[in-house]
Structure 1
């Protein structure tokens, strides 16, 4: 399994689909299926039954997962590709547009 270049907490821009050009923070990453949930993107309507946590139930709006290939990392306000290189004995991510290390 290859290492995914987008992580939880990253700010990303959607580059394809109905929410193209929207930006948001990554809430979760599904490595097995290569999908991400981005804050405020791909909103779906979900019908919920009343439960202990949600007394009323009803219809709620929530984010659904989108494919990781449809998002780009935002570095200093611009979308950029992400590369991986060795920094000593550690793997680090870097922005391909500037060459700066991300983390």
Structure 2
């Protein structure tokens, strides 16, 4: 039996596509969640304790959203592309003083 593509227009074997989506969900999701936590804890106009707590809660939401998006995207390349589009502005803002 011929190998079927895992998504519309995707040419990766199904196992590789799933592994790449798991990496995106776990590693990139954690990284984006951590960036959101850091940025909100640093820039929210409230006491440091409250800003940190709000940042942590938002980080959990971002990580959960990334996990959902990594498996809901039509192709693995599209999932990674959108995660890169989200990560670049967060990294640039993080590098600001």
TM-score norm. by structure 1 comes to: 0.22
Structure holding more strand per residue:
1
Per the normalisation by structure 2, the TM-score is 0.23
